[in-house]
Structure 1
Amino acid sequence: MNEPNKSLGEFLKEKRSKLDPAVFGFQKRRRRTPGLRREEVAQLSNISPTWYTWLEQSRGGSPSKEVLNRVANALLLTEHEKEYLFILAFGHPPETTLTVSNEITPRLQRVLDQFGQCPAIIKTVMWDVVAWNDAALKILNDYASMEPKERNTLRYMFTNPQAKKVQKDWASVAQFIVSTFRADVTRIGISSEIEEFIDELSIQSEDFSRLWQSHEVTGYGGGIKTLIHPEIGQLELEFSTFVIEGRADLNMLIFNPVDDKTKKIIAEYIHAA
């Protein structure tokens, strides 16, 4: 028995042992061990008792994703437990469709605010900026005064003439954003809303249409962003991108001054503004 399959069986046995049979309408009398019996899990999963027994004993080959989904639901696994189950069985998490929401918690806003003089934002996979700190307002864009639709970074980059004025290398930034956008929407699945957005932007901007049709894909990582600020001139910022735990539809981008000189310029400007 190989170790991953053994771990899978042990995990299933442990999870069923912690379930209360009465919750599922099963009698609790005459049980030698706590939790659900194997045949009860099989019944709840709509599979044969023999097949479920083999699954716990690492016999009979790998289960299908559909069967493992049913077992996960029968055992009332959390999303993290289900992910762990699929990694044990297949070596990768289950395929999921992300739920995209523009709402963030006060906790996340407090995290942004703690970055002080480093601009920081939270964006969706659609590149809608949904949260920001004060430094981001003064250095990146005045998101607070913009309509929600205008806070979309793709829309801003390709339809607002101001974008080319404040980006030292607009072409490279535009390519990066479209390439990461393609990776994002491929990961979550291209919905009718996303298709409409792509079609709309393709009509409004030849540049976007050309870049989208190039099918370039890239990840976030980090890099250097050079801005031409209308009041304090050229600024070089290191950016780092983080996925927010429990909200895979959101990314946090933090822009850190590359040196003490830039840091001082930003700090003085924010203090005076």
Structure 2
Amino acid sequence: MSEQLRDFLRSRRAKITPADAGLTPHPGPRRVPGLRREEVAQLAGVSVDYYVRLERGRNLNVSESVLDAISRALQLNDLERTHLFTLAKPTRSRPRPLPPQRVRPGLQLVLDSLHHVPAIVLGRRMDVLAANRLACALYADFDALPPRSRNMARLIFLDDTVRGLYTDWEGAARGVVATLHLYAGRYPHDPALAELIGELSLRDQDFRRWWADHDVFERTHGVKQYHHPLVGELTLGYEAMTPVDDPEQTLGITTVEPGSPSEERLHLLASWTSPATVDG
């Protein structure tokens, strides 16, 4: 956890120039791309030694007021601030194995009732726990994949067909990396996550480079552009909802503008992939 805290703080201060922070730059060359440690300490109102020890993970009794001051100094957004608090104040309990995840029957019924838009349930580290028929038609036939491959991060980076679906693949892929970083802060001792990060870092140089950026992102809603091999261009929104009693699962529902070409193409995709009926 101390390494994550160190790298996250370094990455945030590298993004801010003295001018951005309202400081007068010192004359002469600078050896860092953004703020120096002493400049962050000055802005946060703490001693340089205190900040250096914090960045090195040697001061895990840091107060919330100091973390707030550092958040302001580094101009963190709300999600980054929460991530900083998670990294700086890790749980003291002994790490326990994470139990297997299963979709609650009621949530599965919700998923199965959505016939006209793709819908998917994601679990830890973006594992695909369940998907309706249209989601399988849009992304991949998840049921036909080996369990280990039912993971959106693996598919977006390592599956050429899924990779080709996204008009802005880089934007989607960077969002995946930032989502995994947020999860890593919450579950630093998850061996399956460590395996996933190791595999993607080894097999994809973009993932390896973006992981070093330490950006964080939480899916809530948005719009994505797709190019599907069967129906062509699609502009689809998404809404991500987390059950109150299970924050480790997310129901992602795709939305489409009524009357739009994308709605027509989605209906076409649904008709082409619907189970054949037999007349009695």
Both proteins in one fold, TM over 0.5: yes
Structure 1 residue 264 corresponds to structure 2 residue 264 = yes
- Give TM-score scaled by structure 2 length: 0.60
Partner of 2:248: 249
Once the two structures are superposed, the pairs formed by residues 31-110 of structure 1 within 5 Å of their partners are: 99=98, 101-110=100-109
Going from structure 1 to structure 2, the CA distance change for 1:181 and 1:100 (only over 3 Å counts) comes to: farther
Partner of 1:135: 134
Q: Figure out how many residues of one structure are paired with residues of the other and give that number.
A: 180
Contact 1:100 1:124 in 2 (8 A): no
Greater Cα offset, 183-192 or 208-217: 183-192
RMSD over equivalenced CA pairs, Å: 2.1
Partner of 2:206: 207
- Give TM-score scaled by structure 1 length: 0.61
Contact 2:231 2:268 in 1 (8 A): no
Residue segments in structure 1 that go unaligned for 5+ positions in a row: 1-93
2:135 alignment partner AA: A
* Partner SS state of residue 106, structure 2: helix
Once the two structures are superposed, the pairs formed by residues 132-171 of structure 1 within 5 Å of their partners are: 132-171=131-170
* Partner SS state of residue 244, structure 1: coil
Partner of 1:121: 120
Greater Cα offset, 212-221 or 261-270: 261-270
Q: What's the CA shift string for 1:180-199, capped at 9, x where partnerless? A: 11112212334233222211
Q: Determine the C-alpha separation between the residues in 2 that align with 1:253 and 1:230.
A: 22
Going from structure 1 to structure 2, the CA distance change for 1:111 and 1:174 (only over 3 Å counts) comes to: same
Identity value in percent: 26
Q: Determine the C-alpha separation between the residues in 2 that align with 1:157 and 1:226.
A: 14
Greater Cα offset, 258-267 or 194-203: 258-267
**TM-superposed deviation, 1:138:** 1.4
**TM-superposed deviation, 1:209:** 0.8
Spell out structure 1 runs of 4+ moving beyond 4 A.
94-100
Q: What's the CA shift string for 1:122-158, capped at 9, x where partnerless? A: 0112111010111111122211211111111111111
* Partner SS state of residue 184, structure 2: helix
Residue segments in structure 2 that go unaligned for 5+ positions in a row: 1-89, 274-280
* Partner SS state of residue 247, structure 1: coil
Contact 1:125 1:181 in 2 (8 A): no
